[in-house]
Amino acid sequence: MAVLGSRSNPRPGDHPHKIDFYTADTGISARAGYTGLRNFGFPERFSPAFPVNGAGKRDGDKAPIDESSNKSPVKFSHFHTPEQTPTDSLPDCAIAIDVLRATTTMAQALHVGAEGIQPFSNIEKLFADSESWPAEKRIRAGERGGKKVDGFDFGNSPRECTPEQFAGRRLFISTTNGTRALQRIQPAPMVLTAALVNRASVVDYLLEHQPKTVWMVSSGWEGTYALEDTVCAGAIVQAIVEKSGLSLADLTDNDEVVGAVTLFQQWREQLLELLHHSSHGKRLLRLNNPEDIAFCAQLDVLPVVPLQASPGVLKKA
């Protein structure tokens, strides 16, 4: 079934995410959408948001797309900070981004075999909730101001996440901004985390599961813009453009997405330099941490998608 287009005139009682698709094989419209929140997963009630033939394509492949289609039923929005993220609606899928360093660390932790991840914005709550977990099965990690929190096992360095230390253990983590972004989007039916290191896997997941509205929520720094999170949001949408054959204009729901993609196009061959330009990159350099920046600047190296499996718990998808 090829998706030819959608119409945007809502009917009384429609869910805001409900979209009618006109299909090539039937010539009639098929109503799709969801009517309630789910923990995760997008079953049969969803019609494809990307051209069906585009799903799962590898880098460099352009999905064949019906020339009569110039409108994508999937729309991406990017928000520079958790504070700028709308509070009166939810997308089908929300992605938290904190390239330096929280979502990079989370990707690496699950990649090396962590059993799951529980993010906390509040350190006292992290200590209290993790207390009920067997000591040998838990890791407490995180930072404030880039430095390890007293009493934690680790800071927030992805390079500390080794199979020896993390395999089979649950990571309880609190960071300055990344965990706040995650808590902000927790009620969404599909919640992922993304960083440059796992960009390709996140993109493949989106192409496979086909949410129709996707919010990319950057962590920023204490309520302000972060260059490195924006370039990651741009990298995600750029890969969707390349793999689906859809145009950027069709995929975009706010101006921030266009800005993010443009930033990525400009810097895609110099991501490490860009991270060194960013204010948080400079902060980490002052803390003498160039190796972490280099780790976080790698593109598409970790085949892992952190997915919220139950409220507040991320697992490998």
Which stretches of the chain bind ligand 3SL, using CB under 6 A?
A: 98, 100-102, 143, 146, 156, 175-178, 219, 284
Nearer to ligand 3SL, 100 or 207 (CB): 100
Nearest approach in angstroms of CB 55 to ligand 3SL is: 32
Nearest approach in angstroms of CB 156 to ligand 3SL is: 4
Nearer to ligand 3SL, 175 or 308 (CB): 175
Q: What is the dihedral of CA 134, 185, 261, 276, to 10 degrees?
A: -50
Nearer to ligand 3SL, 176 or 193 (CB): 176
Nearer to ligand 3SL, 100 or 297 (CB): 100
Nearest approach in angstroms of CB 176 to ligand 3SL is: 4
| The pairing of beta strand 138-144 with beta strand 147-148 | antiparallel
* Beta bridge partners of residue 54, listed in sequence order: none
Nearer to ligand 3SL, 182 or 235 (CB): 182
Distance CA(104)–CA(117), nearest Å, equals: 13
Nearest to 75, CA basis, from 296, 309, 248, 303: 248
Nearest approach in angstroms of CB 222 to ligand 3SL is: 8
Nearest approach in angstroms of CB 38 to ligand 3SL is: 27
Nearest to 195, CA basis, from 209, 181, 183, 174: 181
Nearest to 209, CA basis, from 190, 188, 195: 190
**CA 177, chain centre distance (Å):** 15
HSE (side-chain half, CA atoms, 13 Å) at 249: 3
Nearer to ligand 3SL, 48 or 158 (CB): 158
Nearest approach in angstroms of CB 114 to ligand 3SL is: 17
Ranges of beta strands (E only) in 37-121 are 75-79, 93-97, 116-119
